[in-house]
Structure formats: C-alpha cells, structure tokens
Structure 1
Amino acid sequence: MQCIRAFMPGMNKFPLILFVLILSGCATTEKLKLTQPAEKFSSSGNNKAAQEALQLQGHPYVPGGKSPNEGFDCSGLVFYVYKKQGLNLPRDTWSLANQLPTIQLNQRQPGDLVFFNINTKPLSHVGIYVGHDKFVHAPSSHTGKVMVSDLNQPYWRERFTAVRRPSHNPVSLNDTTNQICLLN
C-alpha cells in the first residue's frame, strides 16, 4: 500500500479495497474450464460441447455408459455431450470416425473429436477437443473417470490418428444399417 501511495498521493483506500474484492471474486478452485482457447472460433466450432464435456470431469468410467448417472465410456461421453447439443451422433468410435468429416490437425477447434489407436486397434478411442491441445475423455477402467488429457503427452501423441467435426446438418449421422457397436 505504501508503494501505491507513493505513486498516487492522497488516494482513498476504499476504491483500492473495492477493486481487490471484485478481483478476488473471480478466483475459483473449480475443475479446469477453458473459456478462451488459443484457437479462434468459427461458426463450425462447438464451444458449448467443449464446455459441457469439461463439466463432466470426474464422472466414473463405465464400459457402455452414456450418462452422468451411469457413468461413461469414451463414445458414450461424446454421444451424451452432443445429444445435449441437439445432435444425434453414432454411439461407437468406428462409426463416428467414418461418418463425420475429416479435419486437419492444425484446423482443429474446441468441440472437434480426436481419435486414437489403442492396443493397435484402429479408431478405438475418442475424446472431445477443448482447446490448448487438451481433450476430455473417458479413458479406461484403469483411470476410472472422465478427465482432461494433453495431446502432447507421449502416450496420446503416439496414438493420435484423426480429427472429426460434428456439425448440425439435415442428414442424420446415425447409420441404422450399421449394427457394429465397438465400445473402447
């Protein structure tokens, strides 16, 4: 306070205290929320989906799960988040990767889906990109919960395969002729 007075003689303490109180109201200990990703949003970016996915951190991993009440597997998390956005996506990773439009890695935006090959199984894992090279996913029973991971971590970087972008369009993305259901 002495330093401030030296630069601003006669300054009333009340405005400074009020300013500090207002700023302290912005502090939080909540889960990771990326509200200003480095990427620029376009009309096709789905920030709402990214924010919804971030809200689900900590929910349990459950094979076949697709809701907060029962828990999630990776494709169930994607299915749930986009269903809340009014988009009916396929329920398995293979169909998601094969039915959604391909996006170049350097063109990814929050809300895009990132795919990985796990245990040499192509397109066997999916997450929702949230910006700053981070993605939300339900990795496995080993981790036990929905979490945020970094695309730059060696494990994920080595297994990364593709980016796809869900979008609202009149064509249904749920192929009813495909009876394959690959969960994780």
Structure 2
Amino acid sequence: MTGTAQAQYNKTRPIPEDQIKPGDLVFFSTYKPGPSHVGMYVGNGQFINANDSGISYSSVKEWKKLYPFLRFRRIQ
C-alpha cells in the first residue's frame, strides 16, 4: 500500500486492539494532527516502522507514551 499515513488510514478498516494480528497497521499522530506515522504490527506488542534513522522495531506501549495513538487498522 502506498501513499501518506493519512491515505493509508483512509484505505483501511479499524480493528479492536484485542483482535490485532501481525500485518495490521498501527497509526500515530506524531508531528501534526491526524495520522502522520504508520507502522506494521509484528506481534508481541512490537511494530516495525521507518524514520530518518532507518527501519526499526518499536514497542507499541512505549510509542503510546510518546505520541497520540490513533488505532490499529487492517487492509481490506
């Protein structure tokens, strides 16, 4: 799936957190209101994401402390 975090958010459907599985997307609001950062959930509370430093695995729980969490979503 290509496009901005907002475009990806608009093309996916919401998933309750108790139903997430690897491959679902996780969205945060980082530098502006609304979806501005997206990662892919990989299981065990971790997601993979890219930033200026490259690609890394991150903790969903830790990111929720740093940025507004929008929700998990699934590609339709």
TM-score above 0.5: yes
1:166 is aligned to 2:75: yes
Alignment of 1:97-112 (within 5 A): 97-112=9-24
What one-letter code is carried by the residue in structure 1 that aligns with 2:9? Answer: A
Give the whole-Å Cα distance in 2 for the aligned partners of 1:92 and 1:152.
Answer: 23
Give the match for residue 152 of structure 1.
Answer: 61
What one-letter code is carried by the residue in structure 1 that aligns with 2:72? Answer: V
Runs of 4+ in 1 over 4 A off after TM superposition: none
Superposition deviation, residue 134 in structure 1 = 0.1
Between structures 1 and 2, the one with greater helix share:
1
- Measured on the aligned residues, the alpha-carbon RMSD in Å equals 1.3
TM-score by length of 1: 0.38
Alignment of 1:8-23 (within 5 A): none
Give the whole-Å Cα distance in 2 for the aligned partners of 1:152 and 1:101.
Answer: 21
Give the whole-Å Cα distance in 1 for the aligned partners of 2:75 and 2:31.
Answer: 26
Give the whole-Å Cα distance in 2 for the aligned partners of 1:122 and 1:132.
Answer: 26
For structure 2, which runs of at least 5 residues remain unmatched after alignment?
none
1:126 is aligned to 2:33: no
1:65-117 C-alpha deviation (Å, 9 max, x unpaired): xxxxxxxxxxxxxxxxxxxxxxxx24211011112111111211100000001
TM-score by length of 2: 0.86
3-state SS of 1:109 partner: coil
For structure 1, which runs of at least 5 residues remain unmatched after alignment?
1-88, 168-184
Between structures 1 and 2, the one with greater strand share:
2
Q: Work out the number of aligned pairs and report it.
A: 74
Give the whole-Å Cα distance in 1 for the aligned partners of 2:18 and 2:8.
Answer: 20
| RCO comparison, higher one (Cα < 8 Å, 6+) | 2
Q: Is residue 49–residue 56 contact of structure 2 (8 Å, CA) maintained in 1? A: yes
> Which is higher, the Rg of structure 1 or of structure 2?
1
1:1-58 C-alpha deviation (Å, 9 max, x unpaired): xxxxxxxxxxxxxxxxxxxxxxxxxxxxxxxxxxxxxxxxxxxxxxxxxxxxxxxxxx
What one-letter code is carried by the residue in structure 2 that aligns with 1:102? Answer: P
